[in-house]
A and B are shown apart, each in its own frame.
Chain A
Amino acid sequence: MPAAPIPSNAINDTEAVRVTALGVVVEVRFPVGSTAVEAFREQWSRALVEGPSEAAPGAVVEPADAPSDEALLHTLTTQVTIAAIEAQAGRLVMLHAAGLADPVSGVAVALVAPSGTGKTTSAAHLGQRWAYLSDETVGVDPSGAVLPYPKPLSIVQPGKWTKAQVSPDSLGLLSPSRSSRLGALVLLVRDGTTPATSERLRRSVAIARLAEHSSFLARLPEPLAALDRAVAGTAGCWEVRYSSLDDLEAAVAVVMAEAVVEAAS
């Protein structure tokens, strides 16, 4: 059955804000007069698409009902993420990862980890040194280009079920000055290992481990080959076990340096 047309007044009764996520323009349609719009713009400062556009968005999101603006904005981040990932399913290799790029070369390192195991904390710390690309998902196109998703960082608040949505600008995180290419991958294991250990993974092990931290991999044609190509274009994939962020930073610095050299060769 074809989708029902959207009544024009339904759009006129909304205030649309567009953000870019993984190369997709996502239009968020707030009810006119919503008090959450201003906070959303501030939180999504790095991803806002400004200016009028006649082009249709790649995805549309309507904020879910919520008991407060804080809850609405928390849920909205998830809604935008899902919309962008679904729009790019079958096109990109998408990894659950924080993304950081060398500000000079644009070489990016994906810090791959499940939810709740250090992506946001790592991005908030390491983004002071390398350009922030995402704390959630790193999308890689077939050429190896990283499509950024500079969403607000979703930070756990003690005693609350909602995560604070904090703009990377307000945290002082660096911005990329040029387009980014995937240069290396790091599987994060925050298991208390002190000092941090870093092990380069065999190609087959890397592919299998990364597959389990991907979104819609099976929607890609030849999914494992696609993942293999994404890895093959980099300096490699490491597993880093760590406790402190300073140790992690030192380990990532070594990987980043190797990735920059590899990309230049």
Chain B
Amino acid sequence: MRVRAVPTVDVLDVEEDGERVLLFEGRALVLSPVASVVHSLLSTSEDRAVADLVAELAELVPMPPDPEAAVGALLADLADQGVVRVTANG
């Protein structure tokens, strides 16, 4: 699985909450602290492998016992919100 961020109009990190606010055309979203870290690791122009993302994320935030499943669920949620696009390998 590969993932990339959907382009935004603007991004604001609210450091006191660890949250990130995204502005799209006509809507805005608040990302949780973990989702904010995930989003900051993604590019809008280049896909990256989810497995690599999980490995890098593990160095930055505490991960649950099954990190692949947890990140997969988070990415699915972000995809539902239109924040990322997830595609199959190849």
Question: Which residue numbers of A lie inside 8 Å of B, CB to CB?
Answer: 202-205, 207-209, 211-212, 217-218, 222-225, 228
The answer to whether B21 and A207 touch across the interface, beta carbons within 8 angstroms, is yes
Q: Cβ of B30: which chain A residues have Cβ within 8 Å of it?
A: 204-205, 207-208
Whether, in the assembled complex, B66 has its beta carbon less than 8 Å from a beta carbon of chain A, the answer is: no
Q: Cβ of A203: which chain B residues have Cβ within 8 Å of it?
A: 14, 16-17
Whether, in the assembled complex, B52 has its beta carbon less than 8 Å from a beta carbon of chain A, the answer is: no
The answer to whether B12 and A228 touch across the interface, beta carbons within 8 angstroms, is yes
Chain A nearest CB from B82 CB (Å) reads 14
Q: Cβ of A222: which chain B residues have Cβ within 8 Å of it?
A: 10
Whether, in the assembled complex, B23 has its beta carbon less than 8 Å from a beta carbon of chain A, the answer is: yes
Prevailing SS type, chain A contact patch: helix
Chain B interface size, as a band, is 10 to 19
Contacts A203-B16, A207-B21; A224 near B29 (Cβ below 8 A)? no
In Å, the complex CA distance between A192 and B40 comes to 40
The answer to whether B9 and A223 touch across the interface, beta carbons within 8 angstroms, is yes
The answer to whether B17 and A223 touch across the interface, beta carbons within 8 angstroms, is no
Question: Which residue numbers of B lie inside 8 Å of A, CB to CB?
Answer: 9-12, 14, 16-17, 19-21, 23, 25-30
Contacts A203-B17, A204-B17, A204-B21; A212 near B12 (Cβ below 8 A)? no
Q: Cβ of B26: which chain A residues have Cβ within 8 Å of it?
A: 212
The answer to whether B19 and A218 touch across the interface, beta carbons within 8 angstroms, is no
In Å, the complex CA distance between A207 and B12 comes to 9
Q: Cβ of B28: which chain A residues have Cβ within 8 Å of it?
A: 207-209, 211-212, 224
Q: Cβ of B27: which chain A residues have Cβ within 8 Å of it?
A: 212
Contacts A204-B17, A204-B19; A224 near B25 (Cβ below 8 A)? no
In Å, the complex CA distance between A217 and B27 comes to 11
Out of B12, B21, B23, name the residue touching A218 (CB < 8 Å).
Answer: B23
The answer to whether B17 and A224 touch across the interface, beta carbons within 8 angstroms, is no
The answer to whether A211 and B14 touch across the interface, beta carbons within 8 angstroms, is no
Chain B nearest CB from A218 CB (Å) reads 5
Chain B nearest CB from A94 CB (Å) reads 15
In Å, the complex CA distance between A119 and B26 comes to 21
28 contacts between A and B (CB under 8 A): A202-B19, A203-B14, A203-B17, A204-B14, A204-B17, A204-B19, A204-B20, A204-B21, A204-B30, A205-B30, A207-B12, A207-B14, A207-B28, A207-B30, A208-B21, A208-B28, A208-B30, A209-B28, A211-B21, A211-B23, A211-B28, A212-B27, A223-B23, A224-B11, A224-B12, A224-B21, A225-B12, A228-B14
14 new A-B contacts, CB < 8 A, other than A202-B17, A212-B27, are: A203-B14, A203-B16, A204-B14, A204-B30, A207-B14, A208-B29, A208-B30, A218-B9, A218-B25, A224-B10, A224-B21, A225-B10, A228-B12, A228-B14
In Å, the complex CA distance between A222 and B28 comes to 14
Chain B nearest CB from A131 CB (Å) reads 30
In Å, the complex CA distance between A208 and B14 comes to 11
